[in-house]
Amino acid sequence: MTVRNSIPLSDIQKAQVRKAADELGIDPDNIVFYSGPSVYSDLLDKILIGPNIFPDIIVSKNITATFLERLSMRAALAHEFAHAVTTRNGIAFDAGSVEDEFQASVFAAREIAGLDKDDQCRLILDAVERSKERGGNIKVLKSIIHV
């Protein structure tokens, strides 16, 4: 089970997300704050931002933390934005599928401007880790994604 922040976002954290969204080229009208998990909603065509957009401070520093648990807020936001971009461009896979999650992390790492090398690296490692957890074949996934 993945552990990320579960404490409701403060106004300061929301401002940090808005600033990061601007720096990543995300239209602020595409961001909606709510209490559930962060996700791109293809039905609303919005990025829904919940508390888990931020890592859990304690867990993310643990050596056994997954790469998903270690993703920075900016990397997690870029991942959700990648879902939006691939969906809008008609190249997304079924929502929540191993292919879609793998592609979102790889797309974010390679295509979303404004991420530092650490975030890019963690997103690639997140893609690999997620695919392994779900039984995906990385060579096959690399050959079918649209990045």
Is there a domain that residue 1 lies in?
A: no
Q: Report residue 116 as tokens.
A: 């530092």
- Evaluate whether residue 124 is within a structural domain: yes
| pTM greater than 0.85 (yes/no) | yes
Query: What's the longest Cα–Cα distance across the chain?
Result: 42
For 111, the domain range is 11-144
Domain assignment present for residue 58? The answer is yes
The position carrying tokens 């976002």 is 9
Q: Are 3 and 10 in contact (CB under 8 A)?
A: no
Decide: 24 and 81 in contact? Cβ < 8 Å.
yes
DSSP string computed for 79-125: HHHHHHHHHHTT---STT-HHHHHHHHHHHHHH-TT--HHHHHHHHH
Would you give per-residue pLDDT tens digits along the chain (147 residues)? Answer: 678 999 999 999 999 999 999 999 999 999 999 999 999 999 999 999 999 999 998 887 787 788 888 999 999 999 999 999 999 999 999 999 999 999 999 999 999 999 999 999 999 999 999 888 778 777 777 777 777
Domains in the chain: how many in total?
A: 1
Element (H, E) at 49: strand 46-49
Q: What is the pLDDT of residue 1?
A: 66
